[in-house]
Amino acid sequence: MVARFVSGAHRRSARGGEGGGAAYVGGAPLPPRLDEIPRKPLCMLQGYGGQHHSCGDLYTPASVEELRVLFGMARRTGRRITFRAGAQSFDGQALNDDLVISMTGFTSIEIDEEGAQMTVGAGTPWGAIARELAARGFVPYTVVSTSHATAGGTVSGDCLSRFSGIGGKEGHYVERLTLLTLDGQLLSLSRDEPTSALFHAVIGGLGYLGAVLDVTYRIARVAPAGTPIRVVTQATRCGSLDELAAMLVPRAEQLLPSEGGSAVEDGWVPEALYSIAFHTLAGSKSMVLRSRYVAGTSHELRPLLNHRRGYPLRVPIEWLMRTSVVSQGVWTIIDRFVFDVSRPNVDELMGFLFFMDGNVLANRIGQALGAPMITVQQTFMIPYDPGAPEDSLRRLVDFINRIHEIATRDGTPPLLLDVLHIQGDRFLLSANYGADGFAVTVAFAGSDEDSVCRIRLRLTELSAHTLELGGRVYLVKNVHATAEHLQAMYAHALPEFVRLKELVDPDGLLRNEFLERVFPAHFRPAPRLART
């Protein structure tokens, strides 16, 4: 059984030219005109973190034909293109002062229940996807923590989530994707030859190789159709960082065998294994959490505080926690009176999956009121060698201790630190290319340019230490590191990625301000002509 849902106002089909009242000459539809495509000239855009801004011409096409028209205009005028959709990037991955193409017109959901797969348009928000899946008893194997992010955006980052601690990152579950190249070709990419190389570059390639139109994922059935899905979470307090590190390594039987492996055949069900560490007035605390899906309502709801998206005090709490001392006070209250590890928490599915929606709302309201809502998040991948687990765990503990040392140097601890284990993969710009590791994410709030500058310097120091440990900086969130250190971290992938970039975009029409900034030796900003 295949169910198909399409949302949004499509002027033409994303797969062809039918509909939209197009005129025909000699049996062929006339191509759309440039002035028919919705445009916001010189539109102010920014990333989620509030640090990066741009002012570009924003177009919102809704068909392949309209995308081809925009690509043709770029070739004629020398303008450079960046793709955008959910506006959830922390850094400059989706910003450009020239031509920005929003993919929000490509919204569709097709669910193949028998095959346990779905195909979704690149601009489809994950909130809409999760709701359609849940109604049929399915969930994504891994999904980012805000409902506003889109499939095209997250696949372009090969994103991780709390379920990645056992199941790996998003790319593990992609079966196929459709790419529109700058010369107008439609390519169907998969991990099988002959498209495997491009498939492994586009996933995690941050939109630098073409327009992703749709993505086909494997999905997991966790309940009968029409049955509510809840999530049960058991937290365990850790007495030391050594204990935390050891508890994060999943058992071999919990892991998906390999990228692209059949979870249905193996009887594998996604389960989350992750940790959090925070600073209270009494010092640093940490805990490891395990979450699993349950079908039905036999478990009474007992949601975690940060999973209550509609909680009236959520926005003011988020604002208060942006100040270091207040943050420690709030965490002290939460630690003493909210976290009860003696019994499990039970969340509704959407509240658990998209707990960051409360942060997104707080940011939007704060920005509308003119408050400096600057968020800095950076993720470091510290290598884990299954053949030498004790040495690997010592490296992780050493790195977390270094975070604490640097943070206490100027009295500004991170708002939150979380750690999870990630399996290695083969995606070129993945921080886990060819190696398992621990993803260590550090979040800070900046109140002014001085505080943001201190945070940048601190993160750059941690990036240098990551390289010393043989690790890499994750390219999807903020990245503060020297170009030399990043070059060393990704030396294995950059030559091949550049080769593929030149193959599919020989004129260099696609721009990624982020990649061109962090890898200046490989991706030099090209001069562009004046806007027309």
Question: Average pLDDT of 370-384?
Answer: 81
Q: With 0-12 CB in 10 A as exposed, 13-18 as middle and 19+ as buried, what is 487?
A: middle
Q: What is the pLDDT of residue 96?
A: 72
Of the candidates 42, 72, 75, the residue with the CA atom closest to the CA atom of residue 58: 42
Q: Which two tokens stand for residue 515?
A: 């990649």
Backbone angles phi, psi at 297, to 5 degrees: -115, 20
Please determine, for residue 327, whether its predicted confidence score (pLDDT) is greater than 90.
no
List, for residues 41-57, the tens digit of each pLDDT value.
877 666 655 566 666 78
> Is there a cis peptide before residue 194, judged by omega within 30 degrees of 0?
yes
- For residues 475 and 497, give the distance between their C-alpha atoms in angstroms, rounded to a whole number: 14
List, for residues 394-404, the tens digit of each pLDDT value.
999 999 999 98
Question: SS3 for 325?
Answer: helix
| 151 — pLDDT class (breaks 50, 70, 90) | very high
| 355 — pLDDT class (breaks 50, 70, 90) | confident
Please determine, for residue 300, whether its predicted confidence score (pLDDT) is greater than 50.
yes
- For residues 381 and 372, give the distance between their C-alpha atoms in angstroms, rounded to a whole number: 29
At residue 474's C-alpha, the angle toward residues 472 and 477, to 5°, is 150
Q: Where are the alpha helices (DSSP H) in 256-388?
A: 263-266, 314-320, 324-333, 349-353, 357-368
Question: Structural domain boundaries of the chain?
Answer: 2-9+34-223+495-518
Q: Which of 57-61, 87-91, 188-192, 236-240 has the lowest mean pLDDT?
A: 87-91
List, for residues 253-271, the tens digit of each pLDDT value.
777 666 655 445 455 678 8
Q: Which two tokens stand for residue 259?
A: 């990228």
CA distances from 73 to 80, 186, 326, 515 (A): 10, 18, 52, 24
- For residues 324 and 339, give the distance between their C-alpha atoms in angstroms, rounded to a whole number: 21
- For residues 406 and 417, give the distance between their C-alpha atoms in angstroms, rounded to a whole number: 14
2-9+34-223+495-518: which CATH topology? 3.30.465
- DSSP output for 155-203: HTTT---TTHHHH--GGGGEEEEEEE-TTS-EEEE-SSTTSHHHHHHHT
Cβ–Cβ < 8 Å for 480, 460: yes
Cβ–Cβ < 8 Å for 443, 392: no
| 10 — pLDDT class (breaks 50, 70, 90) | very low
Q: What is the pLDDT of residue 477?
A: 85
CA distances from 327 to 318, 320, 324, 446 (A): 9, 7, 5, 13
Which residues 6+ apart lie within 8 Å of 230 measured at CB? 293, 294, 296, 297, 299, 301, 346, 347, 348, 349
Please determine, for residue 236, whether its predicted confidence score (pLDDT) is greater than 60.
yes
| 186 — pLDDT class (breaks 50, 70, 90) | very high
Please determine, for residue 13, whether its predicted confidence score (pLDDT) is greater than 50.
no
Q: What is the pLDDT of residue 8?
A: 42
Cβ–Cβ < 8 Å for 108, 6: yes
Question: SS3 for 366?
Answer: helix
Percent of the chain with pLDDT over 90: 51
| 174 — pLDDT class (breaks 50, 70, 90) | very high
- For residues 148 and 125, give the distance between their C-alpha atoms in angstroms, rounded to a whole number: 5
